[in-house]
Structure 1
Amino acid sequence: MKYMLIMRSTDEAKKEYQSRPFEEILEAMGAYNESLIKAGVLLAGDGLADDMTDNFVVDFSTDTPVVTDGPYGETHELFNGFWIIQVGSKEEAAEWASRVPLGPGSKIEVRRVTEMSDFADYADTPAMKQEAAWRAERGEQLA
């Protein structure tokens, strides 16, 4: 099963983060990433830039989508980065999420990534056949 670990932080977490030497943070995250790689569970992962000049939100609450500066109107909780892991169970995903080297004010939201098997009832539809073809072109397994 694939899970996405979503790193979120509050203003409290940002203050704690800024009080630590950046090299210490890099080393802790590097060690965590290395453990994911060595265990063979890491599929993808990246941090997100804090620089607000390149970030934006597309709001679909009107007929014509509206693009505004972002990521949010409020900064009480920010999405800072993510990992996508392939593990055998929800419990294993929780174990990996619990190991992320974060401090007070930070959270890891864990979401299961859908797979083709989640849409088995629709496998014969044109849209799902096209999706399967695209995944096959990219060499993805169609679990």
Structure 2
Amino acid sequence: MPKYLLIMRGTDESNAAMMADIGEMMTTTRQFIEEMVKAGVLLAAEGLDDPRQGVVVDFSGEAPVVTDGPYGETKELFGGFFLLDVASKQEAVEWAKRVPAARGSKVEVRRVPGEDEVPQDNGTFVEEDRSESSGRI
């Protein structure tokens, strides 16, 4: 079955509205997650920390430049995701329509290509024994 990522995209205003009623939002989100688990479609779900706590690595120049905080010109920020294993794009869209979200936010639905769609042996990556890997890049 195809996988789809439901990307939570909020604005400063929608994020503030969500934080104003965080208790109710957490309750409805937990219920939504339980529904996806019962339906057998949820693979992963995570929320992200405040974008001001992150950094941006910009590769537009000769060397990467690291700056604090979110993208300067961005109106919407990626705030979290749900990864679903569903039968179709339409099913992913139906789940996205049920996401508990603050007014003014958006949910982007993107398909995750399967391994058979991505070149696996292009000479760039070396397969390693995962049991010996430290898990670091």
Q: TM-score scaled to structure 1, two decimals?
A: 0.79
CA distance in structure 2 between the aligned counterparts of 1:125 and 1:109, rounded to whole angstroms:
30
Matches within 5 A, 1:73-92: 73-74=72-73, 76-92=75-91
d(CA) in 2 for partners of 1:69, 1:101: 29
Identify unmatched segments of 5+ residues in structure 2: 132-137
Corresponding residue number in structure 2 for 1:11: 12
Instruction: Tell me the secondary structure at the aligned position of residue 61 of structure 1.
Output: coil
2:15–2:102 Cα contact (<8 Å) kept: no
- CA distance in structure 2 between the partners assigned to 1:51 and 1:18 by the alignment: 14
Shift of 1:66: 0.7
Change (3 A) 1:15 1:125: closer
- Name structure 1 gaps, 5 residues minimum: 139-143
What does residue range 60-139 of structure 1 map to in structure 2 within 5 Å?
A: 60-74=59-73, 76-119=75-118, 122=119, 125-127=122-124, 130=126
TM-score (structure 2 length as normaliser) = 0.82
- Aligned sequence identity (%): 48
Q: Which moved more, 1:8-17 or 1:31-40?
A: 8-17
User: How far did residue 47 of structure 1 move?
Assistant: 0.4
**CA offset digits 1:33-89 (Å, max 9, x no partner):** 111111111111100111623x00110101211111122113521211111111110
Structure-to-structure mapping, 1:25-64, within 5 angstroms = 25-50=25-50, 52-53=52-53, 55-64=54-63
Secondary structure of residue in 2 paired with 1:36: helix
Does the 8 A contact of 1:10 with 1:75 survive in 2?
Answer: no
> What count of residue pairs does the alignment treat as equivalent?
130
Deviating runs (4+, > 2 A) in structure 1? 122-128
Shift of 1:24: 0.7
The structure with more helix, counted as a fraction of residues: 1
Could you say which residue in structure 2 is the equivalent of 1:24?
24
Supply the RMSD in Å over aligned alpha carbons.
2.2
